[in-house]
Amino acid sequence: MQIHVVKSEETLNNIAQAYGSSTSKIVEANQLANLNRLVAGQTLVIPINGQFHWVQPGESIWSISRRYKVSAEEIVRMNKIQNPGNISIGLRLTLPQISKKTVEVSAYLDPRMTRGRSAEAIDKVGESLTYLAVFSYSVNRDGNLIPVDDQATLTAAAKDKVLPLLVITNFENGQFSTEIATTILTNDALQDRMLNQVLRVMAEKGYRGLDFDFEYLGVANRERYVRLLQKAKILLKSRGYYISAALAPKTRTDQRGVLYEGHDYQAIGHVVDFIFFMTYEWGYSGGSPMAVSPITQMRKVMEYAISVVPKEKIMMGMPLYGYDWTLPYVRGGKFAKSFSPLKAVELALRYDVSIKYDKTSQAPWFRYTDEQGRKHEVWFEDARSIQAKFDLVKELGLRGFYYWVLGNDFPQNWLLIKENFIVRKR
């Protein structure tokens, strides 16, 4: 696979010829809705044998080898270069294949969001998943679970050899409840009732692990939460189940805020098999326009995480969505609309605007004016931004990564997983 950024006036035919590919392969790989028009700044994943690089001004064989982390000698050999110290601008180089890292990949899926399309969503990408976290079984104030309609989801996961994880939350009326968490975490009898129901559901339905997603705990519940996880681990491991936790994105131990203070990275890392770090939602529906997962912020969280949690337990979070904000942004005003990366490109095409790329956050964005004269700003993910995140996973040597949330079309992402990694199946 090769990532190509569309320039003004380029056509599918031009691009296919440049890479020795075909328009039909490019259309299929990127699920292009309009075959006759492309958007300047749009990324395409090009199916080719190997990888190409066109020499830019100031580049050398050495700098190109460093960029792609391949051998300079191999570049010279493959391209039969007679004078490596003098390569011409615009020369197309074939690059050697890089070795692939084996990782684990997971994704959250909420059957209520996919609305009967859970099996379809899993079948599309199941070969690229190790785990599927089914969101969510909420616990109520008396310690009982509120179930979710998950049978079609579990059947599809089994078909694609994806291990299902039951997600348990302190979720109530569309948001996480500090009060419910405190009620459960301060009452052993309620914890026992909750865990006994969890074990019964897991045994009946074939779940292979339990993922704790307790959020907005506050500092008072910090140690209580670790004790609950320790209690759960004893029950789960004796039955051969995995235990994991989803944690808020912290950059230091003493980070303030009810979202962060209840999550002790180091203590929880000692208990669970792996952790889903929620490295997304810096740009969120109720906030001001910005990248959902800026690579700079993700790096800060991951560098702190690996300082207190073993790398082999770290799963880095990635978004399968973007946001469309109506301008001017007003705090407490209209929430941004969420949609898939594929829909974002279709929106840029509809309003005939170029897609820009912010190199600091490593994220694409654009602005447009709708039919009512309202201005909008859109941030989303594309092949470049996902590749930057994959590079971070490889650089830091993490266990793997995961997605929130299945159901959003992003075909480039799944092709690039195959290009970069070998996905471990359990």
Would you call the peptide bond into 293 cis, given omega within 30 degrees of 0 as the criterion?
A: no
pLDDT at 69: 83
Catalytic residue among 104, 215, 261, 419: 215
| Mean pLDDT within 94-113 | 92
**2-95 matches 101-319+398-423 in fold:** no
pLDDT value at residue 366:
98
> How would DSSP label each residue in 239-259?
TT-EEEEEE---SSTT--SHH
- Say what the pLDDT of residue 123 is: 96
Quote the percentage of the chain above a pLDDT of 70.
100
Each residue's pLDDT tens digit, 258-293: 999 999 999 999 999 999 999 999 999 999 999 999
Domain over 2-95 is classified CATH 3.90.1750.10: no
38 has a pLDDT exceeding 80: yes
Arithmetic mean of pLDDT, 38-48: 95
State residue 98's pLDDT score: 77
DSSP assignments along 61-98, one per residue: HHHHHHHHT--HHHHHHHHT-S-TT---TT-EEEEPPP
Please check the confidence at residue 52 and state whether its pLDDT lies above 90.
no
Instruction: Report the distance separating Cα 15 and Cα 224, nearest Å.
Output: 57
**Is residue 97 pLDDT above 90, yes or no?**
no
What residues does 377 pair with on adjacent strands? 325, 367
| Three-state DSSP state, 72 | helix
**Reported pTM:** 0.93
CA 417, CA 132: separation in Å to the nearest integer?
A: 16
Q: Sketch the domain layout of the chain as residue ranges.
A: 2-95, 101-319+398-423
Reported confidence tier of residue 149, pLDDT bands at 50, 70, 90: very high
Specify the pLDDT at position 254. Answer: 95
Of residues 51 and 249, more confidently modeled: 249
**Confidence at residue 173, expressed as pLDDT on a 0 to 100 scale:** 92
CA distances from 117 to 58, 121, 378 (A): 50, 6, 26
pLDDT higher than threshold 90 for residue 230: yes
127 classed as catalytic: no
Mean pLDDT (the chain, rounded): 96
Which pLDDT score is estimated for 249?
Answer: 98
Average of per-residue pLDDT across 336-358: 97
The average pLDDT across 141-154 equals 96
Indicate the pLDDT class of residue 67, thresholds 50, 70 and 90: confident
**Across 191-208, average pLDDT:** 98
Model confidence at 299, pLDDT cuts 50, 70, 90, reads very high
Beta strands in 69-128 (DSSP E): 92-95, 101-109
What is the average pLDDT across 15-35? 93
Report the pLDDT averaged over residues 62-72.
Answer: 90
Q: Indicate whether 36 pLDDT > 90.
A: no
Please give the CATH architecture assigned to the domain spanning 101-319+398-423.
Alpha-Beta Barrel (3.20)
What pLDDT is stored for residue 14 in this prediction? 94
50 pLDDT higher than 80 = no
C-alpha distances (whole Å) from 17 to each of 23, 78, 171 are 9, 21, 52
List, in sequence order, every residue forming a beta bridge with 88; answer none if it has no partner. none
* Per-residue confidence (pLDDT) for residue 294, from 0 to 100: 98
pLDDT, residue 99, reads 80
For residue 232, the model assigns a pLDDT of: 98
pLDDT at 115: 84
